[in-house]
Amino acid sequence: MRHNAQTLLQPYELPGGLKLDNRIVMAPMTHLSSHADGTISDAELDYYALRAAGPGMVITAATWVLPNGGLPGGPGADDDDKIPGLRRLAAAIQDRGAKAVLQLFHSGRQATRTGDLVAPSAIPETREGAETPRPLEEEEIEGIIRAFGAAARRAISAGFDGVEIHGANGNLTHQFFSPHANRRQDRFGGTLERRMTFGLSVVDEVKRVVRERANKPFIVGFRLSPEERETPGITMDDALAFADELAARGLDYLHVSLMDFRNPPRSGSGDGRSRLAILQERVGQRVPLIGVGAVRTAEDAQGAMEIGIPLLALGRELLLEPDWANKVRDGRSGEIRTSLTASDRERLGIPEPMWRLLRSIPGWMPFEDE
């Protein structure tokens, strides 16, 4: 374990030239703790500051680029009035030693903040009671793509070190890539290649803004879900084709969203290895991968790093144990907490709305009283 722990704690330079102090990344997690208008609250500043002293990079919660793409309690980057709060957020992370990356998204048919529910097609989510969204007009799609670029400009103005385009977990970018959610027959859908158009256009627009606006190295990453459960749905072969195109865009990283890094594909590829290993072999020499999913102990981290990925994201474990990286560094892995008690919320700086969310999802967090 000593060699692998030291590898995890070594510096790493991203393709764009920005150097991370170590290979540990705080994964983006929904906290529901921003103000109602999407501005940054003191509670979320405290939450990030407590966890930013160990990882080399912190990725924030999904931040909407337009009001109809947001969630109640989520942060926004949809107008310049948000910049002062975003500046405080970037500083809260950077002052503790980590690079600060703002995750940008539009939630599409998942949105609950306004009454304007939009998606690529009039297909509801596959859950009971899901509302049927309004299909986007092509002009609206172009406007959303531009909104991602405008949000990236605001992240640059606020002093962030980079942005992550959220294309995973069922949001609008994921919806455009999905053959289940996207039934269009125009340049944004109909074939695998056209289903990639929205996501790749967002990447191109954000990269354009960064070239024009950033006066120092600035991270641009992309988060991808390799598969989905629906039929028809995204298969592993689809994800590999998309990863090829994303790797050609000169991204700083590709963040693979997984519940467990060990799991093999559900469909496609015909390969029994883990999805993370398959993606690492396919594109890992062209774009750095961030792996995530069920990493709690130092031994879990060792298993993930042995796949060959250069960066490892921790989500739930940094909720449980904000000092995870420092305890691994100091040889105190045995002290790492792997469960929660009802009295832990204040000690761990978890905002009350986020705590309620954690308690509402059976089995997602290891509560000792469950």
Distance between CA 131 and CA 136 in Å, rounded? 15
Distance between CA atoms of residues 208 and 313, nearest Å: 27
Q: Dihedral sign, CA of 354, 109, 246, 202?
A: negative
pLDDT tens column, 182-198: 999 999 999 999 999 99
> Chunked in runs of 10, what are the mean pLDDT values of the chain (370 residues)?
67 97 96 97 97 97 97 96 98 98 97 89 94 97 98 98 98 98 98 98 98 98 95 95 98 95 81 93 98 86 91 94 91 88 91 93 82
State residue 333's pLDDT score.
Answer: 87
Rounded to whole angstroms, the Cα distance separating 202 from 143 reads 11
pLDDT given at position 368: 84
2-360 folds as: TIM Barrel (3.20.20)
Q: Residue 114's pLDDT is what?
A: 79
Provide the pLDDT for residue 1: 37
Q: For residue 68, which amino acid is it? A: N
pLDDT of residue 351: 95
pLDDT of residue 3: 42
Which uninterrupted H or E stretch holds 144? helix 138-157
pLDDT at position 269 = 63
Query: How far is residue 191's CA from residue 111's CA, in Å, rounded to a whole number?
Result: 26
Q: What is the pLDDT of residue 103?
A: 98
Q: Is 75 exposed, middle or buried (0-12, 13-18, 19+ CB in 10 A)?
A: buried
Q: Return the closest-CA partner of residue 103 out of 201, 186, 26, 177.
A: 26
Token digits of residue 76: 């926004």
Peptide bond into 288 cis (omega under 30): no
